[in-house]
């Protein structure tokens, strides 16, 4: 089975722009979670989607949004980019509704905001 | 104080040494994950624990729910074990989702 894929792998944007990142989960996985990793804050949970519904959301401003399509692929969008949004954005997919499933991580998208 | 604390933050070992990384958490959890991150960013899930002990090759993970503490042990360490090790807790109020709380990570360097 192919692993979790994320596109693009690297991205450079300027302040004020918006960006869309994509995540394709492992075939058959219906849960997709997004995380942000920065040197200062470490890894933080952004949001999680299951069957096109956002099930949980972390403490991030409304500029961060996401969605999931019927094929379980997910996108996250950041509007009005700030310098502090520079980070590695990781998504992970999980096959199980219950019990808690193992997370399979993608390679990440490294976003640089200039 | 962070809800998930790891120690040590940095660890240097000689090849062959036994290594222990500790993780303490202050919230009730459904499960605890141990993750490995190599330079370049890719993360691999090593273990998911809700009780007891798990072993995979040279890696052993234990958890004590009453003490809210978990440990990751590496036996006969090797330079290829050099990576950042991250523990991540899934709080009980998160349901069966990916809403993990992460420790700050332990950077391990194993010298030949």
Q: Which of A94, A107, A110 lies nearest to residue B98, judging by beta carbons?
A: A94
φ, ψ dihedrals at B51, nearest 5°: -165, 160
Q: Which residues contact A83 (CB under 8 A, 6 or more apart)?
A: A15, A113, A114
On whether any CB of chain B is under 8 Å from the CB of A11, the answer is no
By the CB < 8 Å criterion, does A55 face chain B?
yes
CB A81 within 8 A of CB A69: no
Chunk chain B into consecutive blocks of 10 residues (it has 112) and report each block's average pLDDT, rounded to whole numbers: 92 97 94 92 90 96 96 97 96 81 96 96
What's the number of CA atoms in the CB half-sphere (13 Å) around residue A9?
7
Inspect the interface and report whether the beta carbons of B95 and A56 lie closer than 8 Å. yes
**Which of the four pLDDT bands, split at 50, 70 and 90, describes residue A48?**
very high
E strands, chain A, where?
5-7, 10-13, 19-24, 31-38, 42-50, 53-57, 64-68, 74-78, 87-94, 104-105, 109-113
What is the rounded CA–CA span in Å between residue A21 and residue A107? 12
- For residue A63, the model assigns a pLDDT of 97
């Amino acid at each position: 089975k192919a692993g979790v894929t994320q596109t693009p792998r690297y991205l450079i944007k300027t302040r004020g722009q918006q960006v869309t990142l994509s995540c394709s989960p492992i075939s058959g996985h219906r849960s997709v979670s997004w995380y942000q990793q920065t040197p200062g804050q470490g890894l933080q949970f952004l949001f999680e989607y299951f069957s096109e519904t956002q099930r949980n959301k972390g403490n991030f401003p409304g500029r961060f949004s996401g969605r999931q399509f019927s094929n379980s692929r997910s996108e996250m969008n950041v509007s009005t980019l700030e310098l502090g949004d520079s980070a590695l954005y990781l998504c992970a997919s999980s096959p199980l509704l219950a019990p808690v499933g193992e997370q399979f991580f993608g390679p990440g998208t490294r976003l640089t905001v200039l | 104080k962070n809800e998930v604390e790891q120690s040590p933050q940095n660890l240097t070992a000689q090849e062959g040494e036994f290594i222990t990384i500790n993780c303490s958490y202050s919230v009730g959890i459904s499960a605890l994950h141990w993750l490995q991150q190599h330079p370049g960013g890719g993360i691999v899930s090593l273990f998911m624990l809700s009780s007891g002990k798990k072993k995979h090759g040279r890696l052993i993970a234990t958890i004590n729910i009453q003490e809210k503490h978990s440990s990751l042990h590496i036996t006969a360490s090797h330079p290829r074990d050099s990576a950042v090790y991250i523990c991540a807790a899934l709080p009980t109020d998160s349901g069966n989702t990916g809403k993990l709380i992460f420790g700050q990570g332990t950077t391990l360097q194993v010298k030949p």
